[in-house]
Amino acid sequence: MIRHLLGELADGAAVDPVASVRKGTKRALRKRFYKQVSVGDSAGGHAVLLDGKRAKTPAKLPLVLPTRALADAVAAEWAAQEAVIDPTRMPLTRLVNIAVDRVIDESGAVADDILRYAGSDLVLYRAPQPVALTARQSIIWDSIISWARERFGAHFVVTEGVVFVAQPEATLAAVRAEIGRFRPPFRLAALAALTALSGSALIALACAHGALSPEAAWTAAHLEEDWNLQTWGADADAVARRTARRAEFDAAVRMLALVR
């Protein structure tokens, strides 16, 4: 569910939240059809206005946002478009579109999917080698697990390798309760995006609560990838994909802040 939603968010493939954004750039982009962008009060919140008319989501729903700060930020993305409307330069707009179009109606399934990430969370599975990587994982990931234990009383089982290890039912119940505190659609959509882009519900939750800075959360999510980059180097496509994913990640962090 999360990967499917994020595939739409990035205007593309469910497996990779940014893959089809890249693919989409091969198609002709829509020409900018408006001159002025503004924000106006609307029933239920604040509407993004294009030449005085309410902007709409891909599902043709009014783009009405719960706080003026979020509406202003989305409006700024629309105003920044020039001759054409480039979705790759509008990560916050894509995320709010998903929140309005899908998460409202599918919030239960989205929350369940975040919980599934927690059940086999990235930070619980450690590399058996090399020793230096394992040590780095322990230093960074153990602190996240400790935070989760203190924050919502969840005791996780950590293992070595990739063989699935079931987590205690009480632990999953505690995580479910924590996820339930993220009100749909906007806060839940942001948490879902952070989870999918980091590969970890625990990293996402720690970042959402400010226990990890966005930079620290991003680093924690990419320990093994960074290790491989240091060892083997990076190619241009991999760097471009990572840059695009980071823009999506930062948009999710920003949305959480703007809807508080």
User: Per-residue pLDDT tens for 15-51?
Assistant: 343 444 444 445 689 999 999 999 999 988 999 999 9
pLDDT in tens, 200-224: 999 999 999 999 999 999 999 999 9
pLDDT band at residue 151 under the 50/70/90 scheme: very high
Count up the domains in the chain and report the number.
2
Q: Which domain holds residue 71?
A: 30-85
Enter the DSSP assignment of 32: P
Measure CA 47 to chain center.
Answer: 23
222 part of a folded domain = yes
Residues 80 and 113 in one domain: no
6 part of a folded domain = no
Residues 68 and 191 in one domain: no
Q: How far apart are CA 237 and CA 242, in angstroms?
A: 9
3-state SS assignment for residue 167: coil
11 part of a folded domain = no
User: pTM of this prediction?
Assistant: 0.90
Residues 66 and 184 in one domain: no
Query: Are the CB atoms for 123 and 220 separated by under 8 Å?
Result: yes
